[in-house]
Amino acid sequence: MIIDKAEVIVTSPDRNFVTLKLTTDDGLTGLGDATLNGRELSVVSYLADHVVPLLLGRDAHRIEDAWQFLYRSAYWRRGPVTMAAIAAVDMALWDIKGKAAGMPVYQLLGGASRSGLLAYGHASGKTTEELFDSIRSHQEQGYRAIRVQTGVPGLKSIYGIASNATFEAMEGVRYDHEPAQRGALPNEEDWDTRAYLRHLPGVFEAVRNEFGPELPLLHDAHHRLTPIQAAKLGKALEPYDLFWLEDVTPAENQEALRHVRQHTTTPLAIGEIFNTVWDYQQIIREQLIDYVRSAVTHTGGISHLKKVLDYAAQYQIKSGMHGPTDISPVGMAAAMHLGLSIHNFGIQEYMKHGARTDQVFQQSFTWNDGCLHPGDRPGLGVELDTDEAGKYPYVQAYLPYNRLADGTVHDW
């Protein structure tokens, strides 16, 4: 089973996606997601210019060997671009192996450890009333776990709050998701940590009063706090029994989590911007987190993220794989196969893709009673309609960034 074709496909149905498609000499195809939100074309070049020539003629069965070869032979290790490129190759090879075996990938990973994957969605509102409506609407769509993001009085526009899209292609469409806004420059948003810390506990109190004690609630602080601010927030939210508090501090300083941990029993989740097991080494060993947030797409694929999660399992740390809309349906399928098979599954993030995206990527997953299942088609269960994909060329897009009132750039 020799790889004799490798194509890098860029499409922008509702947003930009980068997909690697491998074809073997016996006609099997495999897909891998290489989407890096706001920096997509750097991965396209990494794959097309440097990886595709190395793949042609290789044995498609040798997944681990391909991974080690791409990681070690580059000499320059780690980093989001490298690891997204390797992830795409890894996913595509698992997809091919599944098709060759006539089995869904989760069977190759050891079989199902559960019947479905509890998933959480993103509710948000500028005001408490809007937030309640958004929570109710998510419950109507079947979600049984909800991330809560709220506006903060005095701040115009902050991470995670739905608004009406301004770019032409999605005029009037409400998004609760992760907009790399189409345009030549990133949007500027504002931030004030003290205002946020004053406001947030009251919002969670109101949500608990309205929706009761059972509903799992999550919140994402999106890297914006110092360790002591994060500790204060974790403590203040303890009465509202969060499922997790995510990305409280900028993730690159692993030691910061030790300070947070010493002060609060609110469960902590981190890792959506991590790329390898090395980023987790200390926080897993010292049990400073409760959930691993990595996406298959950004952490070297199924093979590498499984190693991270197996390591985490020794410390009772569970998965909470990243699943915003910037993970393509291929990356989501990979997460579902991995999540279904491992023992230490925690929860899966799930934001629905747009209708055009669902036409480009034909998928086989199911959504029942708040749970995802990848389906039983051989491989990952996703096929790419290249004609549909071709209708939507790449559009330049950037994630927003933050400035404080005095003009200082702040974590977004």
Please identify, using beta-carbon distances, which residue of 33 and 326 lies nearer to ligand KDG.
326
Give the x/- contact pattern for ligand KDG in 315-344, rule: CB under 6 A: -------x-x-x------------------
How crowded is the C-beta side of 142, counted as CA atoms within 13 Å?
13
CB of 124 to Mg ion, least distance (A): 13
Binder of ligand KDG out of 349, 370, 374, 379 (CB under 6 A): 349
Q: Is 250 in the site for ligand KDG (CB under 6 A)?
A: no
Site string for Mg ion, 214-233 (x = CB under 5 A): ------x-------------
Query: Applying CB under 6 A, which of residues 14, 95, 176, 220 lies at the interface with ligand KDG?
Result: 220
Q: Residue 324: which of Mg ion, ligand KDG, none does it interact with, CB under 5 to 8 A by kind?
A: ligand KDG
Ranges within 40-79 binding Mg ion (CB under 5 A) = none
- In the list Mg ion, ligand KDG, none, the entry touching 201 (Cβ below 5 to 8 angstroms by class) is none
The question of whether 222 is a catalytic residue gets the answer: yes
CB of 129 to Mg ion, least distance (A): 25
Angle between helices 193-211 and 227-237 (to 10 degrees): 20
Q: Does 95 bind Mg ion (CB under 5 A)?
A: no
Interface pattern 21-40 for ligand KDG (x via CB under 6 A): ----------------x---
Handedness of CA 366, 370, 371, 372 (dihedral sign): positive
Which residue among 222, 223, 304, 322 is the active-site one? 222
**What is the biggest distance separating any 2 CA atoms in the chain, rounded to whole angstroms?**
61
According to DSSP, the β-strands at 117-125 and 181-182 are unpaired
Amino acid letter, residue 45: S
Cβ–Cβ < 8 Å for 400, 184: no
Region of residue 78 (left: phi > 0; alpha: psi -120 to 50; beta: else) = left
290 interacts with, out of Mg ion, ligand KDG, none, CB within 5 to 8 A per kind: none
Distances (CA, A) of 189 to 150, 165, 219, 221, 340: 15, 15, 19, 15, 37
Name the residue among 318, 314, 316 with its Cα closest to residue 345: 318
Q: Nearer Cβ to ligand KDG, position 51 or 158?
A: 158
Which residues inside 30-89 make contact with ligand KDG, applying CB under 6 A? 37
Give strand ranges (E) for 205-317.
217-220, 244-246, 268-270, 291-292
Return d(Cα 21, Cα 281) in angstroms, integer: 32
Q: Minimum distance from CB of 411 to Mg ion (Å)?
A: 12
Q: Report the distance separating Cα 257 and Cα 253, nearest Å.
A: 8
d(CA 239, CA 236): 7
Please tell me the count of residues contacting ligand KDG according to CB under 6 A: 10
Among 40, 90, 178, 192, binds ligand KDG (CB under 6 A): 178
CB nearest ligand KDG: which residue? 37
Q: Is the dihedral of CA 112, 113, 114, 119 positive or negative?
A: negative
Q: Which residues are catalytic?
A: 159, 222
User: Which spans of this chain sit near ligand KDG (rule: CB under 6 A)?
Assistant: 37, 178, 220, 222, 272, 322, 324, 326, 349, 399
